[in-house]
Structures are given as C-alpha cells and as structure tokens.
C-alpha cells in the first residue's frame, strides 16, 4: 500500500527540518531538545540547578539537555508512560502520572527533597477532536501544577506545554498567582502549525 500524500509530506518536512538534523548530529533523542535549550537559555532556568523532574519525558531528550547543559544537577527524574532508554545520571519512572500509585512512587523517590525545576511536555493521545483533547491537555497541566505545589521549592521554576483553548486563560491566571512571573513562549523549534505553546513560570512563591 502506498503512503498517503500527507504522510509523504510529513516525512519530507520531518527530514528537511533543521532541528531534526541538529538533534541527529548532536546526539539528542528528539528535536524537542531544542525547545528546552531555547527556553532555558532565554529564561536562565539552568543556573544553580540541584534537582529537576521531567514529566512526559520520553524519549528522554529533555533529560539529556539537563545533563548536558547543567551537568552539576544532582538529581534528574524523568517520568513517562513509555519506556525510556537509560541515560547516565537520570532516574526514570515508567507509568501514568495521573495514577495515584505512580505519583506516590515519584514522591517516594524525592523523599524530603524539594526541587528547583518541574518540566512538563506531557500531552494526551490526541484524537483530533478539540472538545476531547483540550480538557485532557488542561487536566495534565493542572496535575503538573499540583505537583509543583507539593514539590517545588520557593524560587523554583516550571515549564509546561499548553494548547490554547478552553481553560488556557484560567491556567495562566493560576500560574501567575503561584509564581512571581508567568509568560507564554513559543520556541523557534516548535513547528509553526502546531498549536502548542509553553508557559514559563519563575519565582515560585
């Protein structure tokens, strides 16, 4: 069976993509590594990092970035539904962040330790139906923010992927109540036609 025109177009776009090429050359597992590099440099997120949690970590590109750009970080934990190939110096939990047992496992791994940076690139399996996808996406963002309230230390930062739509403005409002500053940012490496943006919140109160 021949590939559809749209999938051929996607493959061409993917392999022509400068960030795909860069990630292959640099050894990063995904082009999304460049989203975090750009965000971290712009907002100086990697200064003095001690502990980081990455939610929705597969295939591990963001954890690779933390280890490469902030090598003195003592604790890096990645969590995802999907298995992730090991990365030296990174602890991985495979499981569903929305399940209590997995959440408790993450808290146990942290112990009493507070963290400096919570990353969330989580997204639901998209159905293409906004009425279903948007609430699921916002629920993940809300759960990531609840985790920040439990585990982030004062002055800490949070980066979360969001899709603009119902619940978006309210979530930004919630971020601004809990952090000194919260802004919306779209990295150059985020595909223009993608609805994703990132909320970058700094100075946890």
String of DSSP letters for 69-125: H-TT-SEEEEEESS-----TT-EEEES-TTSHHHHHHHHHHHTT--EEEEEE-----
Length of the chain in terms of residues written? 205
Phi-psi region of 167 (alpha: psi -120 to 50; beta: other; left: phi over 0): left
Distance of CA 117 to the CA centre of its chain: 11
Gap between the Cα atoms of 24 and 42, Å rounded: 23
Active site residues: 161
The position carrying tokens 């959440």 is: 103
Task: Please choose, from the candidates 194, 125, 205, the residue with its C-alpha nearest in 3D space to the C-alpha of residue 158.
Answer: 205
């Amino acid at each position: 069976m021949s590939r559809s025109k749209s999938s051929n177009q996607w493959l061409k776009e993917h392999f022509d993509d400068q960030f795909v090429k860069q990630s292959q050359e640099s050894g990063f597992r995904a082009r999304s590594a460049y989203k975090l590099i750009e965000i971290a440099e712009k907002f100086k997120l990697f200064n003095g990092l001690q502990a980081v949690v990455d939610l929705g970590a597969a295939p591990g590109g963001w954890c690779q970035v933390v280890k490469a750009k902030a090598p003195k970080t003592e604790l890096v934990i990645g969590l995802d539904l999907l298995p992730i190939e090991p990365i030296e110096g990174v602890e991985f939990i495979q499981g569903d962040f929305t399940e209590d047992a997995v959440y408790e496992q993450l808290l146990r791994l942290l112990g009493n330790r507070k963290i400096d940076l919570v990353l969330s690139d989580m997204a639901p399996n998209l159905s293409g139906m906004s009425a279903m996808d948007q609430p699921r996406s916002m629920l993940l963002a809300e759960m990531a923010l609840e985790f920040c309230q439990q585990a982030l230390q004062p002055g800490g930062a949070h980066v979360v992927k969001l899709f603009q739509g119902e619940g978006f403005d309210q979530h930004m409002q919630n971020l601004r109540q809990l952090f000194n500053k919260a802004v919306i940012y779209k990295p150059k490496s985020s595909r223009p036609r993608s609805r994703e943006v990132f909320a970058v919140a700094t100075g946890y109160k």
